[in-house]
Structure 1
Amino acid sequence: MPASSKQILLNAFNMNCVGHINHGLWTHPRDRSTEYKTLDYWTDLAKLLERGLFDGLFLADIVGVYDVYGDGIDLTLKESIQLPVNDPLLLVSAMAGATRHLGFGLTANLSYETPYLFARRMSTLDHLTRGRVGWNIVTGYLESAARAMGRPNQVDHDRRYDQADEYLEVMYKLWEGSWEDGAVMEDRGQRLYAQPGKVHKVRHQGEFYQVDGYHLCEPSPQRTPVLFQAGSSARGLRFAGRHAECVFISGQNKAATTRQVEAIRNAAREAGRDPNAIKVFMGISVITAATEAEARDKHAEYLRYASPEAGLAHYAASTGIDLSRYELDEPIRYEKNNAIESAVKTLTRNNDWTVRRILQENALGGRYPALVGSPVQVADALQSWVEETGLDGFNLTRIVTPESYADFIDHVIPELQSRGLYKTEYAEGTLRNKLFDAGDRLPASHVGADYRALTRGLPAREQQA
């Protein structure tokens, strides 16, 4: 492969549950995912990832159940398809205490979180991790979550993003505008912890949210956590262009991935930002060993434990289409719903997706691209994806945990490092500084920076909405 100057960014992709992406592998005798309820499981993983110089551990989450396939949760329970699922935020303090550099990308659904309290939780974690947290902003897509939260159904797709825009406005006011730099004095002699004139009340009266109060936390290292987002619909892209610092995509081939990356860069440009201000990560699975033959053998071994049908059930929830109603070779038809809009369009756009094809592509229990090969072969493939599509990095799924991550660290990381494609040590500072090498705070060009308190004691924008 030709030399490349762009270093690859890398997150481990995981979830506080048994079955995450590659379903059925919990039955593998070397898999530890059923230990997800223990702190040792997570602190051991965090230390392993830090040994591999991973940029972060990206934790997905849902607040609902996958009940579309077969109109129930029988298979979801049998194969533990993201059920049971525990809260991701509660893991972070323990993992941060066991590591020094590893970042944590935390998924939280703003549709069911009040901004005032969520701002405090994230600021608390940013303090405790010394600035190593990011927030994966999601608006939800499961009707089961809406019903569980006492609502008859979900808010329409685009309307959820309208709400998200206002939610972020409130968060910026709290994180960036309520406490000025220099407000905290910690002056024992004068009995002055914080200066009253430098702490401001947020008064927000909007369509979705009303806030009249002070942010409860003093400024954390990053103030605003690193902002992740994963929507690839037209409305989701507009939201990403305005707010996101990192975007997670699910690419199936290089041509489609290139188009997705270009769409994200264009969205940033249209929002008045540098198109390269957003780092783009793609989900990927890797099976590797010292030699290609060993990797192929391991792949064959994993296939014996995987559940393609569980992957089909997961996909049914993502699209809102009950795929159990289709014959094996019957084309999947478009259904208007409030699930993941881009997933529905991908599945139905060309009338060429069938249950048989989905099962084949979900052979490992999940639908992300799978690389199988020696360290050189995997490194070649990763380098090719980055150079040909414009990606910045990858969210590496677990297949057998923690074996899949350990294999990647022991075999692929040294090969990437030998090519100058991966760091050999961590940079100091916060997660934002590690990712962008431009300081701990949101850049001045980001919309959130407009809400910062100035030294004269007023926000850059009026706090009154």
Structure 2
Amino acid sequence: MPDRPPLRFAAFVMDTVSHIQHGLWRRPEAQQHRFDELDLWVDLARTLERGGFDAMFFADVVGLYGPAGGDFEVNAREGLQLPNGDPSVLISALAAATEHLGFAFTSSVLQAHPFEFARRVSTLDHLTRGRVGWNVVTSALDGAARNFGADRLEEHDERYVWAQEYVDVVTKLWEGSWDDDAWRADKAAGVVSDARGIHRIDHVGARYSVAGPHLSRPSPQRTPVLFQAGSSPAGRAFAARNAEAQFILSSTPEKTAELIASTRDQVEAAGRRRDDIRFFLGLAFVVGSTEEEARAKSAEIDEWLSPDAFLVHSNLGFDPDTGEQLDPDTPLSQVRTQTNRSHLQWLQEAAGDREPTIRDLARLSARIRSRVVGTPEQIADQLATWQDAGVDGINVINWTIPGSFVELVDHVMPVLQERGLAERPGASSATTLRGRIFGHDQLPDRHPARQWRGAFS
């Protein structure tokens, strides 16, 4: 295999019972029903670090899937992200149990004021010595909007306008409020910090007025690694300006290559380098010692899947205005939505030449969701193909916790490391998450957020 940079690996998890692969929590070996026990996550973090993973990537939601104000019987019965916990609370404990593993977590612009959020992230970046990333989301659930005082979500593209101001506020605090030399801790001189190097940001915008200064001194990364997951036109434009890594789902290497090339074009047009953004593809793995064993395991997985939960999780089977269920034979091309547009596009691509319908949602989501089946060697071959399409990293979707990750660490990662497709544990001298992914600890000068350095002196 020709020389190639190693893929980066993140474990896609959520502090809940049933995150993505609904129904699998019922398997005897599955432990995700213990999601609120710290030992489960500490043991998993240590397993991932042992296997050379770069990060744990925590998803999160602050509302229920399905129509706002509607029935949530399926959510409760299937544990469909209900109940769930706050992933940011876990990170300091997991960082204390590991040395190198990074921790990216999802937080919506809807759920926290940017001043509070900036201080929380800086605190985590200090405590982890620079191993934190933030997945910037705008929320896709009307129920989430209601939980924070709105009747429903704002229009799709307007939410990205909101997100841009939010990012501007937090990066003004992270990048511009403190000079590098303002923190002194000089006992002889009796000076903790030099006030001349600490600045108010005095932000006044459409949504926020934030005076500052930032209450945290600069952390190792200053700004956490910025992840983003939307593939709509507005989402990709937002990513082109702000994101350092984008989480994608795609049906084929060809479609993935087109998506990545197009987004890199936008990144370049925004004044950044094409490789200033890295793409993490969501994949789930079924591993066997032979191809026949892997296919048998894949068929067994299908027996555990919950179509009811997948349909609700799609958040597409109802009228967004009335909340009424749509006709099961409605083509997906006729589904109106202000949310999950990238997911809808992915489902349509996954269906191939046939026009999929609402009736197909559960089947498409449950049975086709980016599943890679085979021996460790066959999986390595397929990952090389994805890398050739432009993929920089893999966000590993699990079937069970911890089993899916233990199997990958014990059987697949050694093959990937032998082929140069994954980095061996301890091979990197980087101490921060950005350092592992990019080779530098802080945002490069060409990132728009760096304009705030020195802007408030």
**TM-score, structure 2 length as denominator?**
0.94
Question: 2:361 pairs with 341, 358, 361, which one?
Answer: 358
Question: 1:320 touches 1:338 (CA, 8 Å); kept in 2?
Answer: no
**Deviates further, 182-191 or 101-110:** 182-191
RMSD: 2.1
Is 2:288 the partner of 1:286? Answer: no
Contact 2:316/2:335 (<8 A) preserved: no
1:51-70 pair list within 5 angstroms:
51-68=50-67
User: Is the contact made by 2:88 and 2:105 (CA closer than 8 Å) also made in structure 1?
Assistant: yes
Q: Name the residue aligned to 1:412.
A: 412
1:340 aligns with 2:340: yes
Measure, in 1, the Cα distance between the counterparts of 2:343 and 2:79.
Answer: 22
Alignment pair present for 1:86 and 2:102: no
Shift of 1:273: 0.6
Q: Find the counterpart in structure 2 of residue 132 from structure 1.
A: 131
SS where residue 110 of structure 2 aligns? helix
- Alpha carbons of 1:89 and 1:320: their partners in 2 closer, same or farther (altered >3 Å)? farther
For 2:45 and 2:338, the matched residues in 1 are separated by: 35
Amino acid at match of 2:66: D
In structure 2, C-alpha distance between the alignment counterparts of 1:125 and 1:203, rounded to whole Å: 24
Alignment-derived partner of residue 375 in structure 1: 376
Question: Which residue of the partner structure matches residue 31 of structure 2?
Answer: 32
Match of residue 451 from structure 1: 452
The equivalent residue for 1:180 is 179
What displacement does 1:305 show? 1.5
Distance 1:356 1:317, change over 3 A: closer
The 2-side partners of 1:48 and 1:134 are apart by 20
- Matching residue's letter, 1:370: R
- CA offsets, 1:213-235, max 9 Å, x none? 21010111000000000111111
1:455 maps to none
| Alpha-carbon displacement from aligned partner over 1:248-306 (angstroms, at most 9, x marks no partner) | 11111222211211122111011011011100011110010322233223223322222
Structure 2: gaps (5+ residues): none
1:324 Cα deviation (Å)?
5.1
- The one-letter amino acid of 2:356's match is W
1:430 maps to: 432
Aligned to 1:255: 254
- The 1-side partners of 2:199 and 2:68 are apart by 50
| Identity of matched residues, % | 40
Query: Within 5 A, what are the aligned runs for 1:52-201?
Result: 52-68=51-67, 71-201=70-200
Residues 1:231 and 2:234 are matched in the alignment: no
Look up the SS of the partner of 1:414 in the other structure.
helix
> For this pair of structures, how many residues does the alignment match?
450
1:446 CA displacement: 0.7
SS where residue 202 of structure 1 aligns? coil
Structure 1 Cα separation of the partners of residues 326 and 309 of structure 2: 15
Local SS of the residue matching 1:213: coil
Cα offset for 1:356? 4.5
> Do the aligned partners of 2:30 and 2:403 also contact (CA within 8 Å) in 1?
yes
**Residue 157 and residue 305 in structure 1: after superposition, are their counterparts in 2 closer, same or farther (change >3 A)?**
same
**CA 123–248 in structure 1, closer or farther in 2 if over 3 Å, else same:** same
* Distance across 2 between alignment mates of 1:166 and 1:331: 36
SS in structure 2 of the partner of residue 391 of structure 1: coil
In 1: Cα distance, 2:312 partner to 2:33 partner = 20
Q: Which residue of 1 aligns with 2:306?
A: 307
Give the structure-1-normalised TM-score. 0.92
Rounded to whole Å, the distance in 1 between the matches of 2:214 and 2:410 is 44
1:404-457 C-alpha deviation (Å, 9 max, x unpaired): 1111111111111111111113323111011111x21101111111111xxxxx
Return 5+ residue gaps in structure 1 as ranges. Answer: 453-458
Task: Verify: 1:440 aligned to 2:445, yes or no.
Answer: no
Partners of 2:416 and 2:337 in 1: how far apart? 42
SS in 2 for 1:284: strand
- Looking at structure 2, the residues matched to 148 and 351 of structure 1 have their Cα atoms a distance apart, in angstroms, of 38
Which amino acid counterpart does residue 441 of structure 1 have in structure 2? Q
Q: Distance in 2 between matches of 1:119 and 1:203?
A: 15
Q: Alignment partner of 1:111: what SS?
A: coil
